[in-house]
Amino acid sequence: MLFLSSLCILLLASLGKSFAAPQENPSDVLAAAKSWLALIDAGKYDDSYTIASSVFRNSITESRWMLALRTLRAPLGQVVSRKVTDHTYKPNGIPGLDSPCVVITYDTAFAKADADVETVILKWENGKWLGLSYTLGPKPSETSDSDSIPQSTTTTTTSHIKPEVPKTSPSRSSETPQASPAQSPEAPLPQ
């Protein structure tokens, strides 16, 4: 009888932890983002898909995700440096998603590209932070003013892979990967 009571208490304690409300613990969130980015950096795109949130996996097929990253992320080369510039806890979610999220922004330099901005959104799901969105784009020019002509125009597609108008820099790939279910689709991606 004592064994059964102990087992029930242990089971209840573990259930409470696995579905507990998210904590605003930046080190846990940043560690989860770092792990997800490490898979992307290593070219383990299938693994990055597998451990992403269910919302992410329901918004893009694995083959589309892998194609986007192979086509658009791989040509940038290895990460030379990555620095967190901002992380914001969104307890009520982001537009289109009513669950806790964290938006993390990085300044990232790649071996074959100019400085870029990566944005990772993690979603609290089943007691842990999981990848919801990965975006990559050019770093805003620090010398431009608000009256200047925009450097790029973006188009969001139904699979959330965002092509980008080429930048003026010749050392950068002209397209960037997108996978963000929180964005509304505007144009279908060619099959």
173 in a structural domain: yes
CA–CA separation, 177 and 65 (whole Å)? 9
CATH number for the domain spanning 73: value is: 3.10.450.100
13 in a structural domain: no
185 in a structural domain: no
Q: Is 187 exposed, middle or buried (0-12, 13-18, 19+ CB in 10 A)?
A: exposed
The range of the structural domain enclosing residue 47 comes to 23-141+152-179
Q: Collect all residues with Cβ–Cβ distance below 8 Å to 55 and sequence separation of at least 6.
A: 97, 123, 125, 132, 181
pLDDT in tens, 148-174: 444 433 333 333 343 344 444 444 444
The alpha carbon torsion through 134, 59, 65, 125 (nearest 10 deg) reads 60
pLDDT in tens, 29-84: 999 999 999 999 999 999 999 999 999 999 999 999 999 999 989 999 999 999 99
pTM to 2 decimals?
Answer: 0.65
The token duo for 138 is: 């050019």
66 in a structural domain: yes
16 in a structural domain: no
How many distinct structural domains can be found in the chain?
Answer: 1
40 in a structural domain: yes
18 in a structural domain: no
17 in a structural domain: no
Q: Kindly report the CA angle at 183 between 170 and 22, in degrees rounded to 5?
A: 110
